[in-house]
Amino acid sequence: MEIVGFGHPAKVDYSAMSVEENSLLRARPTDEPARPPLRKLGVAGTLRYWLTRVISSRGLIISVAIHFFLLIVAFLWVISAFTDKAAGQATYIATGAGGGAAGERAKIVEHNLQAKKEKTHAKKVARITTKSTDAKIALPDLRVSAVMPDALSSKLSGTSSKGFGGGSGGGIGSGKGLGVGGTRNFVGKPVMGAHIVATKVAVFMDASKSMARYLDRVESEIRKQFPSADIFMYSGVWTNVKDDVIIGGSRYKGTTGRTGAPPAKTTDPEKLTANGKRIFKQYDDNFKTGCVGAWIDIMRNERAYDGLVIFSDFQDGVTQYRSPKGDKSTSYSTRDATIIYCDSVRSRLPTDDRKPAEKHWEDELVNAFAAAKSGRGPRLYLFSTEIEPQPIFARCVAASGGQSKMVEWLRSGGTPPPDADELTIGKPMVVQGATGSTVPGTVRATR
């Protein structure tokens, strides 16, 4: 007997089997058809046979379907990841400002993809030190990478310095570009030898007859840097204080009116900004009554200005009065009052007779200008043709971080000294008072 299977037929020896084994092997179920030998089916028959077996195997079909589904999912995932990566490689970058409430919109600069692969290689230079105070050392030239010229050659407009202070800036990283910020981080605009660090200024000009010859030139010098400056002109530069209140100032409740000689030139409302016109209309009488004292006391609270400028000879100075006992008058008149302090060039007072409570107005002014260092108040700038400004003004300048400049060269129609642009801001110095005492505070230009 032959047994047909997957291999060649084999002979079975029935004689070696028991009777039961022989009968079982020879028996075939009646419901199972006999399987024909594959070698007799031919190629087409063999294919039909195996196809029938595959189709009948449901488990195999389910397995193949699952694997095919997984293959499709994997293929779609790979395609999606490749597309996202390609889309993320933009051809530009945006670099922008740091802090600052009024920052400009960040500039978008083209991104050099080729430069992305370059690195800056700087040759290490040995550290050079010396303890000699007069040693002469020549520093080696700084090597600049090929990536830097494009960024360094970008034109910086205005007087703003990019990348300083408020936190905005430019540099070389994955691309090239410059950041733009809205912080007021520039070094200042030159005016008659000083640097005024401000964007909007208000100016008080002593328009008395002795100062008339300077007015046009000074106004021209200021408007070169600040075309929209609000310039106020009044006759004199005095400050009168009654008890502890600046006459005509923000806390003054008395009457107002013209005092002193008329000015050689008056304020021109047509040259004022909208805010300047409002101030002029509201406080003109106060300024006529209290002069520079009233002006500075009111203007220190005007948030539209980050710089206040005073131009004068500063000869009038500060005069403080004490009202008679029982006097409740609100008039600005000081006829019956007692002078307890005066620092003008005409003062003959031997001492300062003020009580601590009568000096409170000075501390109030100084604290107001000290707020400039945190951006909550204006800086103060003084220009004098004759004498150093009074001690209270010097203290306000030092507190605000402004400057005080002597401009004697204006008397001969000259120009600022050549070294006037190199300044040390905020450095206190000693001011000689009218009584011979010394008061720290003013700021001068130094090399």
Q: Rg for the chain (alpha carbons), in Å? A: 46
For the chain, what percent of residues have pLDDT higher than 70? 56
Q: Answer yes or no: is pLDDT of 156 > 60.
A: no
Tell me what pLDDT residue 79 has: 80
Domain of residue 153: give its range.
92-116+146-186
Q: Is 4 exposed, middle or buried (0-12, 13-18, 19+ CB in 10 A)?
A: middle
Cβ neighbours of residue 353 under 8 Å, at least 6 residues apart?
340, 341
Q: Select the more confidently predicted residue: 13 or 438.
A: 13
Tell me what pLDDT residue 120 has: 45
Tell me what pLDDT residue 186 has: 54
Question: pLDDT per residue over 361-420, tens digit each?
Answer: 999 999 999 999 998 999 999 999 999 999 999 999 999 999 999 998 998 887 777 654
Both 225 and 362 in a single domain? yes
Segment of 39-43, 194-198, 260-264 carrying the highest mean pLDDT: 194-198
> To which H or E segment does residue 430 belong?
strand 428-432
The pLDDT of 217-226, averaged and rounded, is 95
Tell me what pLDDT residue 24 has: 56
Both 313 and 388 in a single domain? yes
> What is the spatial distance between Cα 299 and Cα 249, in angstroms, rounded to a whole number?
9
Both 213 and 164 in a single domain? no
> Given 40, 58, 76, which residue is the final one in a domain?
58
| CA angle, 290 then 296 then 302, to 5° | 125
The pLDDT of 135-148, averaged and rounded, is 50
Both 180 and 199 in a single domain? no
Place 51 in a pLDDT band, splitting at 50, 70 and 90.
Answer: low
Question: pLDDT per residue over 90-133, tens digit each?
Answer: 444 444 444 444 444 434 344 444 444 444 444 454 555 555 55
Q: Select the more confidently predicted residue: 411 or 84.
A: 411
* Window from 138-147, 296-305, 371-380 with minimum mean pLDDT: 138-147
Q: Is residue 139 part of a domain?
A: no
Tell me the HSE value of 174 on the side-chain side, using a 13 A CA sphere.
7
For the chain, what percent of residues have pLDDT higher than 90? 40
Q: Select the more confidently predicted residue: 55 or 313.
A: 313
DSSP 29-57: -TTSPPPPPGGGTHHHHHHHHHHHHHHH-
Q: Answer yes or no: is pLDDT of 178 > 60.
A: no
Q: Select the more confidently predicted residue: 353 or 26.
A: 353
Q: Which sign does the torsion angle of CA 438, 440, 443, 444 carry? A: positive
Tell me what pLDDT residue 209 has: 92
Write the single-letter amino acid at 36: P
Both 416 and 300 in a single domain? yes
Q: Determine the longest span between alpha carbons in the chain, in angstroms.
A: 157
* Window from 80-84, 346-350, 436-440 with minimum mean pLDDT: 436-440
Q: Answer yes or no: is pLDDT of 220 > 70.
A: yes
CA nearest neighbour of 158 among 176, 177, 182, 175: 182
| Alpha helices for 346-390 (secondary structure H) | 360-370
Q: Is residue 129 part of a domain?
A: no
> Given 12, 41, 58, which residue is the final one in a domain?
58
Question: pLDDT per residue over 338-349, tens digit each?
Answer: 999 999 888 777
Both 222 and 321 in a single domain? yes
Tell me what pLDDT residue 61 has: 74
The pLDDT of 203-217, averaged and rounded, is 94
Both 307 and 418 in a single domain? yes
Both 307 and 439 in a single domain? yes
Tell me what pLDDT residue 46 has: 74
Tell me what pLDDT residue 44 has: 72
The pLDDT of 191-205, averaged and rounded, is 95
Tell me what pLDDT residue 272 has: 97
DSSP 14-27: GGGS-HHHHHHHH-
> Given 37, 58, 79, which residue is the final one in a domain?
58
Q: Answer yes or no: is pLDDT of 187 > 70.
A: no
Q: Is residue 131 part of a domain?
A: no
Tell me what pLDDT residue 67 has: 84
Cβ–Cβ < 8 Å for 411, 386? no
Tell me what pLDDT residue 370 has: 96
Tell me what pLDDT residue 301 has: 92
Both 32 and 112 in a single domain? no
Q: Tell me what the pLDDT averaged over the chain comes to.
A: 73
Q: 242 by DSSP, 3-state: which?
A: strand
Q: Answer yes or no: is pLDDT of 249 > 70.
A: yes
Both 257 and 237 in a single domain? yes
Q: Is residue 73 part of a domain?
A: no
Buried/exposed code over 54-77 (b: 16+ C-beta within 10 A; e: otherwise): eeeeeeeeeeeeeeeeeeeeeeee
Q: Answer yes or no: is pLDDT of 198 > 70.
A: yes
**What total number of domains does the chain contain?**
3
Cβ–Cβ < 8 Å for 309, 203? yes
Q: Select the more confidently predicted residue: 294 or 423.
A: 294
Rounded to 10°, the helix 360-370/391-400 angle is: 30
Q: Is residue 78 part of a domain?
A: no
The pLDDT of 168-184, averaged and rounded, is 43
Neighbours of 255 (CB within 10 A): 12
Both 46 and 155 in a single domain? no
Tell me what pLDDT residue 108 has: 39
Both 344 and 401 in a single domain? yes
Place 260 in a pLDDT band, splitting at 50, 70 and 90.
Answer: confident
Q: Is residue 317 part of a domain?
A: yes
